[in-house]
Structures are given as structure tokens and as C-alpha cells.
Amino acid sequence: MAKKARIKAVDRTFRDIMDNPLPFGGKMVVLRGDFRQVLPVVPRATRQQTINESLVKSYLWNKMEKIQLTKNMRAQSDTRFAEYLLKIGNRTELSTEDDYICLPANIIVTGANEEDSILKLLNIVYPDLKTHTTSAEYMTNRAILSTTNEYVDQINERMIEMFPGKMEEFMSFDEAIDDTHNYYHEEFLNSLLPNGVPPHKLFLKKDCPVILLRNLDPRQWSM
């Protein structure tokens, strides 16, 4: 699960230290990981090929025949949930003909519509939010993971609305470099949502947590 460059660096280091051309300088190295969380690497594959269900399953189950994991290290405080995840990984949990897993009713949040479901989820994960907005421990001990950036933006908007105080709006300044023919209009640039970059219109309130993913201009701030 580590990047291959790191493994190669360790390999070259051991060979240099031991003055031995064998892999890792002839030393025994044990590499471990949960292969149920690792998808196969398909060189020059299309998006459909990389998520091909049969390919993923054959890869994972061949690996799991060699290494059987019996304990979930990430959910030790919730033994029932840990056992449920292991059942899915060991392919012992009941599924439909299309291999869809039926989620237990106690972990499903439902509402009258999508908006109502999001609000219920927020109230469950962040109960009594208004009285804990200044608590760093309260905020850092909770998180909501989503499948797409679109859902992340929806949840973030609702979260900001739940914070007390006045809403502040911040707008980005987008421009295309060396676009002499004006091919990329400002409205189009404002609509783009690249990973790791805030949206064109950013809404914030006092005490709401903000995560800085990257420094957009390292040269400016290094001076």
C-alpha cells in the first residue's frame, strides 16, 4: 500500500549499506497490509477496467488466500461493527445475486428526502453542535466521509448553516495564464472544482474548522 518509490529507496539503501546486490541487501524484510483495501493496478487501463468487479474480486481473494486477517485494528472500540466489516472482507456476510451487501438497519440514516437525510446524519454525528463549536476535541473526533466531491460540498454547506453567527462569503479570482485569445472565460473558470482547491464561492462562519490542504503559492510564502 506504500508508494513504490519508498520501497525502492529502502531497497537501494540496504544494498548500499550491506554492499550486497541482492534485494534489500540480502536481509529479510516483511511487508504487510490489508489487501482487501488495495485495488489492483492495471497499466494503461480505462476507468471501466480499473473498477471491473471480477478483476478486483479475483485479485483480492487470491491475496487473502495467502494472508488471513482476523482482527480489525481501526474499529476496536466498536466490536460489532468490526465483526461486520470482517464478515464482508471474508465474504461470509449475506449478499444479493448481484453481490450487493444489505446494510444493517442500525447504521442506516433515512429521511423524507435527501435534504432531511443529510440533516439527520449531521445531528447524529455532531449532536448539540452549537454548544461545542469552540471545542477542538469535539471537532477532531468526528468526521463524515462521502463518495463524491458533490456530496462533500452539500454536507459542508449544511454544516456551515448550522454554525451560529454571521455567514461570510469569500470569492476567488480566477484567470488563465497566457490566454491571449480569451478562450477561457472567467465564468467557466469559476465553475471548475479541481481537487484540493476551494470552490469559487467559499462560505465560512466564526469557529468553523478549515483544513488547509496545500499552499497554492509556496514561493511567495517562503520569502
Within a domain: residue 215? Answer: no
Q: How many domains does the chain have?
A: 2
Tell me, yes or no, whether 148 and 90 share the same domain: no
Check residue 222 and give its pLDDT. Answer: 53
Check residue 56 and give its pLDDT. Answer: 43
- Contacts within 8 Å (CB) and 24+ apart, 100-103: none
Tell me, yes or no, whether 100 and 115 share the same domain: no
Check residue 214 and give its pLDDT. Answer: 66
Contact 121, 109 (CB under 8 A): yes
CA 82 to chain centre: 19
Tell me, yes or no, whether 99 and 120 share the same domain: no
- Alpha-carbon gap, residue 190 to 62, rounded angstroms: 46
Higher per-residue confidence, 193 vs 50: 193
- pLDDT, one tens digit per residue, over 38-56 is 655 667 766 555 555 444 4
- pLDDT, one tens digit per residue, over 214-223 is 666 666 655 4
Check residue 70 and give its pLDDT. Answer: 60
Tell me, yes or no, whether 161 and 122 share the same domain: yes
Check residue 19 and give its pLDDT. Answer: 93
Contact 132, 142 (CB under 8 A): no
Contact 118, 154 (CB under 8 A): yes
- pLDDT, one tens digit per residue, over 178-188 is 877 778 888 88
Element (H, E) at 79: helix 79-89
Check residue 55 and give its pLDDT. Answer: 41
Tell me, yes or no, whether 114 and 161 share the same domain: yes
Could you tell me what percentage of the chain is helix, strand and coil, using 3-state DSSP and rounding each to the nearest 5?
45, 5, 50
- Domain boundary pick from 134, 152, 175: 175
Q: What is the mean pLDDT of residues 192-211?
A: 82
Question: By C-alpha distance, which of 21, 111, 34 is closest to 75?
Answer: 34
Give the list of residues 6+ apart from residue 76 with CB closer than 8 angstroms, or none.
82
Within a domain: residue 15? Answer: no
Domain range for 99 is 70-107
Tell me, yes or no, whether 76 and 128 share the same domain: no
Within a domain: residue 167? Answer: yes
Tell me, yes or no, whether 147 and 98 share the same domain: no
Tell me, yes or no, whether 83 and 141 share the same domain: no
Higher per-residue confidence, 162 vs 150: 162
Judged by average pLDDT, the poorest of 53-57, 138-142, 172-176 is 53-57
- Domain boundary pick from 54, 79, 107: 107
Tell me, yes or no, whether 136 and 169 share the same domain: yes
Q: What is the mean pLDDT of residues 13-32?
A: 90
Within a domain: residue 36? Answer: no
Check residue 61 and give its pLDDT. Answer: 41
Tell me, yes or no, whether 77 and 125 share the same domain: no
- pLDDT, one tens digit per residue, over 86-112 is 787 777 888 877 777 878 887 888 888
Q: What is the mean pLDDT of the chain?
A: 77
